[in-house]
Every structure is written in structure tokens, then in C-alpha cells.
Chain A
């Protein structure tokens, strides 16, 4: 899956750069000019995603965030903007985005509900007080559909929903330095000390179709070069509805910063 994805991304990047080079020679082809006259604009862009999947607000079970690392997460996006009306102040943005979202966190929890499922289907359930490390990483094909407002000829603001299809996802980690109460807080107490740890993997419980809202700005720094910033805010829990082990919902919230080529 990953390899395939990387191939796709490379092909996409190559196509983008070739187009860019081709366009650069002639500046604007008649086709592009024709499109512009119809209020259509095209743009390709690349960027990075910084953020995380977080419960909102943080539940009382999480006592302390010890570490956070955004991991390297990129995005590649192609957009079509259709400006409406004579003044072309309002428009619609339709895009196709290939992106990865991820994070690594370390947290101290108190009475955090856990169910660990082993290779042979063994289940250990209980309440964990102690350290939890989590790694979240997903690859998505996202389709934003946004309303755009041209604040001035160089600055575009946009807001709207997006839908994401997860092609590959990982949510795993381990617990250490703490204790588990078997089944519930009155159950047998098992302490984990030193290098004792138990791993968990909820990757199979990740939701494959997620959606959310995004808002951002697109600034035409030069004739063809744009700089953009977008906040994407997941509205759906990253986990399937019937996944009950993590008792709170987690939402992916990412800031995307990128630059692009406007045709």
C-alpha cells in the first residue's frame, strides 16, 4: 500500500513539475487564458501538515502531556477555482488532496480505559494509571469543496467541508510505568515497573471515511506562486462508532502550510 502510494505521489510530483516547466516557457497557454476568461483557475500545491488527533476537550483521564511530535506529514493538492458573477468576488474551490496526518504523543493518564487484544485474540481489559505512548499515522485522499472569497486580487479566503478516505492507518503504542486495575477500578492491581510494557494496536478500528471542515487563506506572492495556510478540523471521530475502548472521541486537527503554482 505504502509503496503504491509513494509511486503515485512521485508521478504526481513529476507531472506537476513538468507542467510547471512547460507553463514557464510559454507563461500561459491559450487554454489557460480561455479558462481564466470563464472564471476558472487551476493550482497545484505541496505542503506539510502539523497537528494531531486529540480529544476535545481533553478528558479528565489525561493528566499530563509529556511529549508531542508532529512527525513528517505532507500534502499534495490540485485545485480548481470557479469564480462566479461579473465581479468574481465569490467562487467555489474543488480540490483533490493526497496527504498524510500523524503524531506521536506521550501522556500520563489516570484511570484510563484500556483493552488490549493479543495475537491469539486474548483480551485484557481494565483501567490504566500511568504512561501511555501513542503513534498515529494515516494516509488520506481528501476532497475539499470550499466557498471562496476574493479579498483582493492576490488574497483568497476560503472555507468549507472536506471528506477524507483513509487508504492506510496506524494507531498503536504502549503503556508503561503504571498499573492496571483488571476490569474496573476495584479489580486486581498489576504494576508495571522498569522496562515492563504492554503494546496495543487499534489500527483496525480506525474509521476509513472521515470528514471535517477547513478554512484558510491563499496568497498570490507572485504571478504564479502562491502561499497558503489551511486549518483542517475533523468533525468525525478517528475511530469507528462501535469502538468503545477509548471512551472519548478524538478529532484530527491539522494546520497545512504549503506553496503552490497557479496556472
Chain B
């Protein structure tokens, strides 16, 4: 009986304590928070650490395209006849940052000019190369001999008559760099190889992108090289196809593209499969294919550049002509093999001579080691080598 009484008493106490406890609990949480807030309230915001050029403008109606602003360079395509010797570009920067020379300073842009942006907190400096040009692509032979390093990967560039860098090719390498997979430049999808048709050559290899790539819904990366810009920001925002902005101004009517290639498909072809841990599903017995194509299009206010979503669309009203390797000619081969692709004009499209003169047309050349790499389909290991590419075009009639 004593035991029973004790037990009842125990339950009663527990109930009482429980109520007390609940009240205390709430009080305790409040006290704890008050305590924590007192010792650790949010500090005053630190000054910005970034040093970006966010936009660039030029006085007068001299721009032929919107300025192309990348992480460390700005390219200004100007209308024909613009005086490059005295331009005063104005910049907007990360709030609080400073630029030297100051925004609006008149400078001679016959050669690219360097600017230094210093962050608001003064701890970070970024050098920008600002280039102004009135001509578009002037190169017609591409040897893939020149690369410079950017972080761990290579950037291919073309030179002018003086042997200096004139313009650079773009690739998806900056995106691949974000996956942490590439340890050296030849681990990247786009890199230079020694044994070219002549000298060195361009090599593109489709790669798996590791756990981060899979997490981002981009489990493989096709090697690619193209004329245009790679917009890293939008590469990871769910629209990877719009990250490849194809084309630079081109003032001639292209006729054909020819060069040499070698190609070997990777072992296993994969399709994207969001349910798999690496985001991939093998497709048995399927061989990978490569792609080489070029697009000649008009840059309009509505569509300054074409991108991965619409460059090859049949119904893209801006496209004037497309050169695309026929898939029965794009075969696996270990020998350097000639390709020659004519530009096929779209029906009902004629080039306007005045617009051509005014630099309103653009050209893109694209190489890819996996035909459907833009949809994250392909065989890791697929390797395309390209060398000695020539773009044939109609010389302007004087």
C-alpha cells in the first residue's frame, strides 16, 4: 500500500513538475536567447570585398553591341569609323569600389587598356583588360597554337599581325572549374595537345563532372570550344544552354569551313537520369558523336547573340546560314581526316550589304566532343581533336 501511495505521489509530483518545467522551459529559452543576443548581436555589415565592373557605357551612339563584361575583361564592339584614340568609358562598380584610372578618363584604346578595381574594404584588387574594337573576327585560319592559363585551365586565343592576343575562344572550362574535378589543364574538357596535324591542336574530351556536377543537374561536360562568351553565372542557374553565347561580329559572308579532325567515342554512353546518384543512366550499345558547326546570323536589339537554346533552331529568324557537319561524315577515326562543310543559306534570307558594312552580322564556330553534350548526354572519354581550320568567306566587293 505504501508503494502504491508513493507511486501516486510520484505521478502527482511529476505532473506538477511538468507544468513547472514547461513554464521554466519557455522562460529558459527566452533567457538563453536574451543572453545570446546580448553577447552576440549581429555585427555591423563589413564593407564589400568584391571588385567588379558591373556595367560600362560610352558617350554617344558608338556601340555596335552591348558591352561584353566578363570577370576580368570588358570587350566593346564599336561602330565602324569610331575614333579609338580617345574614348572615355564610364563604369559602375560593386558599391563602394574604386577604379583606377577613374571612370570617364579619356584614354587611347588602339591597344587594350588596363584598369584596376579596388574593393570597398580595400583588401581586394582586380585587374580588368578593357578592349575596344571596330572590326569583328578577322582571322580566317585557326591553328590552335596559342593558349594562356586561367587558373588551372587553358584559354585558346588568336593573334594579330604583331603576334599579340587579338581575341580569345570560349569554352565551358570555367564551369568545369567549379566542379573541383580538374586537377591539371588536361583534366579539363577543353585543352591543347601536342600531336596536332601541324604543331599543336585543339583537344576536346567529354568528362564526368563528379558529385558537384551531378548535384547541379549537369552530370557530364562535353568538351567544347566556340567563338563567343561563356556566361558562368547562368551556367548554374538552371539554363546551361543559355550560358553559351555564340558569336562575334563578322563583316563578310561565310562560304565554308574546313579542317582536320580525329575522333574516338568513349566507352559507355550515358543519358541524364536525375534519380541515379551520379545523375547518369548508361545507354547500352550507343556510340557517341561529335559536332562541328558554324552559324552566321544577324544581331538585332531583340537577339544580340544566339545561344545554345536557339543557334540551330530552324525557326530562328535571325539565322542566315548554317554550316554543320553531316553525321555520316562525322565518323570515328584515329587518322587526321579532312572535313569540309559549306554554309547553307536559310531559304528567303538575303544579306543586307549596308547592315554587313555596319557590322550587324555575327558568326559563331562551335566544336563539341559530344553531339548532345548540351543535354548532358554523351560518353565520358569521347575525344575530338581538331587542327588547321580555315574559314572561307567572300571577299568584300569594293
Contact = CB atoms under 8 A, between A and B. Distances in A.
B13 A118 contact: no
Given A185-B50, A229-B28, 11 more contacts: A25-B3, A57-B40, A57-B41, A122-B180, A185-B49, A186-B119, A188-B232, A189-B52, A194-B237, A221-B17, A255-B31
B338 interface: no
Interface stretch (A58-66, A79-87, A158-166): A58-66
Nearest to A70: B29
A102 interface: no
A110 B45 contact: yes
17 contacts: A21-B3, A55-B40, A57-B43, A58-B40, A58-B43, A116-B180, A116-B212, A118-B179, A120-B211, A180-B178, A184-B124, A185-B50, A186-B51, A190-B232, A193-B237, A196-B238, A255-B32
B7 A24 contact: yes
B44 interface: yes
A247 interface: no
Contact of A120 (B20, B31, B181, B236): B181
A257 B238 contact: no
Contact of A257 (B2, B24, B52, B177): B24
Contacts of B3: 21, 24-25
B40 A56 contact: yes
Contacts of A181: 50
B171 to A, nearest CB: 14
B236 A196 contact: yes
A186 B124 contact: yes
B216 interface: yes
A51 interface: yes
A258 B90 CA distance: 66
Nearest to A195: B238
Interface string B38-69: 01111111100111100000000000000000
A221 B14 CA distance: 11
Contacts of B179: 118, 122, 124
A198 B212 contact: yes
A263 interface: no
Contacts of B46: 60-61, 110-111
Given A57-B43, A192-B237, A229 B24 contact: yes
Interface in A169-191: 179-191
B350 interface: no
B233 interface: yes
Given A59-B43, A221-B13, A222-B13, A185 B124 contact: yes
B21 A227 contact: yes
Nearest to B6: A24
Contacts of A35: none
B151 to A, nearest CB: 8
A197 B212 CA distance: 10
A127 B151 CA distance: 17
Given A55-B40, A192-B237, A259-B17, A124 B32 contact: no
A32 B10 CA distance: 20
A160 B374 CA distance: 62
A126 B181 CA distance: 15
Interface string A93-122: 000000000000000001100001111101
A12 B151 CA distance: 57
B211 A122 contact: yes
A25 B1 CA distance: 10
B105 interface: no
Given A187-B71, A193-B238, A196-B216, A50 B28 contact: yes
A197 B13 CA distance: 49
Contacts of B20: 227
A10 B174 CA distance: 54
Contact of B44 (A48, A60, A124): A60
B210 A185 contact: no
Contacts of A222: 13
B300 interface: no
Nearest to B217: A196
A225 interface: yes
Contact of B125 (A186, A190, A259): A186
